[in-house]
Amino acid sequence: IDNNEGLINCYRVIQNKIGELINSLKKHKNEKNYFYKIRSIDRIPEEFKKLSSVERASRTIFLNKCCFNGLYRVNSKGEFNVPFGKYENPKFCDEENLLAVNTVLKGVQIINGDFKECLELAEKDDFIYFDPPYQPVSTTANFTSYTKENFNKMDQVRLFKVYEELDNRGCKVMLSNSYNEFILDLYKKYDLKTVYAKRSINSDASGRGQIKEVLIINY
């Protein structure tokens, strides 16, 4: 389940139309003017609506592989706004990897929606993993723009309540987030494990490298 329609469309196309997707990706070019031409399509709603599911997935993957730092970010209008990345040879058509993902996704139910929708599906002893937009650890590290509706503190609290409900049902639940006082206090009754993850996406070079995160477990 994910609220990002573009991401879910990519998964569904990889799952059901992998051959068409690979053919479409092979047509793209790693050129600055071409990149901005493809990026600008969502500025014209009438044109964007004309794209097939395969064309939209191909566009998303191409932009993500060729944009600066491989960052996925949209503005308040839902328009992709990351600049060109100037990579020498970005692998926007990784055929081997795409075919492997296609195999893994066979028989998987992929849902575009709010995380609370898992409450309609989850039963006792099910395992649920949440990977939400992380709570900002500072005023500059505040990226949550995966959709046009940013993920804020109220959403973090909503997620906590869903986590609690799943816990009460007897589900096994795991959640990742930033190592942040707000998050640590919110989930203080659960098992909190400190982990370190490598991060290369940060406008400040000093913020790159190993980042402290928390893994929240109820079992």
Is 196 among the domain residues? yes
| Beta-bridge mates of residue 116 | none
Percent of the chain with pLDDT over 70: 91
**Residue 99: CATH number of its domain:** 1.10.1020.10
pLDDT, tens digit (0-9, with 9 covering 90-100), for 32-86: 999 999 999 999 999 999 999 999 999 999 999 999 999 999 999 999 999 999 9
Q: Which residue has the higher pLDDT, 37 or 203?
A: 37
Please provide the average confidence, as pLDDT, over all residues in the chain. Answer: 93
Answer yes or no: are the C-beta atoms of 162 and 116 closer than 8 Å: yes
Q: Tell me the per-residue pLDDT of 17-26, one tens digit each, with 9 for 90 and over.
A: 999 999 999 9
Residues 6+ apart with CB under 8 A from 82: 63, 67, 68, 69, 71, 72, 73
Q: pLDDT tens digits for 124-172?
A: 999 999 999 999 987 655 554 556 778 999 999 999 999 999 999 999 9
Q: What pLDDT score was predicted for residue 199?
A: 72
Query: What's 133's domain CATH number?
Result: 3.40.50.150
Range 90-96 average pLDDT: 98
Q: If pLDDT is split at 50, 70 and 90, which confidence band does 208 have? A: low
SS3 212: strand
Q: What pLDDT is recorded for position 140?
A: 55
Residues 93 and 120 in one domain: no
Based on the fold, state whether residues 82 and 123 are members of the same structural domain: no
Whether 100 is covered by a domain: the verdict is yes
Provide the residue range defining the domain that includes 37. 5-104
Over range 91-120, report the average pLDDT. 98
pLDDT score recorded for residue 203: 46
Say which residue the tokens 């990345």 belong to.
Answer: 85
Picking from 104, 127, 155, the residue at the C-terminal end of a domain is 104
Integer angstrom CA distances of residue 140 from 91, 202, 210, 214: 30, 10, 17, 20
Count how many domains the chain has.
2
